[in-house]
């Protein structure tokens, strides 16, 4: 079942996947006057990696809205961090209620995570609004979970963006793509 609404909000404080000192060392830069530019390039390279792989690297709070309780939810953003899944619904009286049930996050390599309902009790009745059921979770990666090939791919993209500021905008670093390819999510249904 597809969600009716998706709301994504990036969490303000992010783990330092690749910091300014690491990027400057990779670029062999010792001066400070382009620090703001390099910081912007770090963000752009991480976002490009997210776009190519389908992984959520920056930690974000995701909220999905449904008219009814879904049995199986394909999560658009992953990986899911910890036990961050929360399910709330508006009951018949339009009162927001926490839904406590057996939902399991199914994690599969190179596929988007699924949230699967596994209880025999059924679902409570909900209000008839378009987002009566809301599923929220935190997606993204912790610093220690970011695979080293993705770190190298991000550093390669930062170098390309820094060195070729005005040309090659349509060319993607093929070495970076080769490093990212094993982590790519392939089910874009």
148-184 pLDDT, tens digit per residue, is: 999 999 999 999 999 887 766 566 788 999 999 999 9
What pLDDT is attached to residue 1?
46
Per the model's pLDDT, the better-predicted residue between 17 and 119 turns out to be 17
Task: For the chain, give the percent of residues with pLDDT over 90.
Answer: 26
pLDDT beyond 80 at 102: no
Peptide bond before residue 153 is cis, with ω within 30 degrees of 0: no
Peptide bond before residue 79 is cis, with ω within 30 degrees of 0: yes
Mean pLDDT (the chain, rounded):
83
Do residues 64 and 6 touch, judged by C-beta distance below 8 A?
yes
Helices (H), ranges, the chain: 20-27, 35-53, 148-163, 174-180
For the segment 24-28, the average pLDDT, to the nearest whole number, is 94
Q: What is the DSSP letter of 181?
A: G
What pLDDT is attached to residue 151?
93
Phi-psi region of 23 (alpha: psi -120 to 50; beta: other; left: phi over 0): alpha
């Amino acid at each position: 079942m597809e969600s009716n609404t998706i709301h994504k909000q990036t969490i303000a404080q992010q783990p330092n996947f690749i910091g300014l000192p690491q990027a400057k060392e990779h670029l062999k830069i010792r001066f400070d006057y382009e620090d703001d530019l390099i910081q912007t390039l770090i963000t752009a390279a991480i976002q490009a990696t997210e776009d190519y792989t389908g992984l959520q690297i920056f930690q974000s709070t995701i909220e999905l809205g449904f008219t009814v309780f879904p049995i199986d939810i394909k999560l658009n953003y992953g990986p899911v961090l910890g036990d961050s899944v929360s399910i709330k619904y508006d009951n018949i009286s339009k009162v927001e209620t926490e839904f406590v049930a057996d939902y399991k996050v199914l994690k599969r390599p190179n596929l988007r995570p699924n949230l699967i309902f596994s209880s025999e009790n059924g679902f409570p009745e909900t209000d008839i609004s378009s987002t009566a059921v809301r599923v929220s979770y935190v997606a993204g990666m912790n610093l220690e979970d970011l695979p080293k090939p993705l770190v190298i791919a991000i550093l390669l993209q930062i170098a390309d963006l820094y060195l070729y500021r005005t040309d090659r905008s349509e060319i993607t670093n093929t070495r970076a793509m080769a490093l990212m390819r094993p982590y790519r999510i392939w089910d874009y249904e």
